[in-house]
Amino acid sequence: QRQRIQAVLSTGPLMPVITIHREEDALPLAEALVEGGIRVLGVTLRTPQGLPAIETLSKRLPPEVLVGAGTVTDPGRYRQAESAGARFVVSPGITPRLLDYGLTSNAPLLPGVATVSELMLGYELGYRAFKFFPAAVAGGLEALKAMSGPFPDVMFCPTGGIRRDTAREYLALDNVMAVGGTWLTPEKQVNAGDWPAIARLARESLASCLG
Ligand code: 3PG
């Protein structure tokens, strides 16, 4: 389990958190992100278009692009995400049922934590990689640095309040493998179907993180 989710996070340093409002946007939006160099996509289940989008993208994108489900809050939703073809699952927080289910699923779980105690609940079950959410308000960079003391073997993908100019600072931390967020899919460009702008933003964000 822990290796499988770490493999997801090491596929690419930026994970767009994508919420689809129009079904027809899913493929061109994802293709633009892939064109811009993105290799891991988190599609949230915040809208009814989420599951069908995961289904479409996992069939239509090349297999080296990992399409996962975000905002999964219970095992029922987890099962739906698996059936839609999600290669991994992200939750904003944890529940005992969700953590248990994640241990048995073929689509590994990246459980969301905001505190050390939540992290310890997951750690106890064998989880060693977490989403740190909402990162900016839960202590940001300083909190992640502090957690590396007692938990040197835990890796994070922070999300929540991260933008293009702060992504780099998070990625510079030893315990951060990837960062996520919605800044890679600005509503204005998505609504306008400005896919070249989305590709450009992804490319520039990657360049500024890696450069
Ligand atoms: C998430 O679920 O990770 C957040 O919605 C991302 O938050 P952001 O909009 O601040 O990037």
Q: How far is the CA of 175 from the centre of ligand 1 (A)?
A: 19
Q: In the prediction, which pLDDT does 3 show?
A: 85
Q: How far is the CA of 20 from the centre of ligand 1 (A)?
A: 14
Residue 2 has pLDDT above 80, yes or no: no
Distance CA 83, CA 85 (A): 5
Q: How far is the CA of 182 from the centre of ligand 1 (A)?
A: 5
Ligand 1 pocket, CB under 6 A: 17, 70, 92, 133, 159-162, 180-183
Nearest atom of ligand 1 to the alpha carbon of 163: 11
* CA 49 to each of CA 44, 45, 72, 145, 202: distance values in angstroms, whole numbers, following the listed order: 9, 8, 14, 37, 23
pLDDT band at 211 (very low <50, low <70, confident <90, very high): confident
| Segment 44-71, tens digit of pLDDT | 999 999 999 999 999 999 999 999 999 9
Q: For residue 191, what is the DSSP state? A: H
Question: Between 3.20.20.70, 1.50.10.10, 3.40.50.800, 3.90.76.10, what CATH number should domain 2-210 receive?
Answer: 3.20.20.70
* CA 156 to each of CA 1, 50, 82, 110, 205: distance values in angstroms, whole numbers, following the listed order: 15, 24, 23, 9, 19
What is the average per-residue pLDDT within 189-202? Answer: 98
Residue 26: strand, helix, or coil: helix
Q: In the prediction, which pLDDT does 210 show?
A: 82
What is the average per-residue pLDDT within 193-198? Answer: 98
* Contacting residues for 194 by C-beta, under 8 A, at least 6 apart: 188
Element (H or E) spanning 130, and its range?
strand 129-132
What is the average per-residue pLDDT within 1-24? Answer: 94
Write down the ipTM of this complex: 0.93
Decide if 16 contacts 164 (C-beta within 8 A): no
Q: How far is the CA of 85 from the centre of ligand 1 (A)?
A: 22
| Segment 169-183, tens digit of pLDDT | 999 999 999 999 999
Minimal-distance CA residue to ligand 1 atom 11: 181
Distance CA 117, CA 147 (A): 11
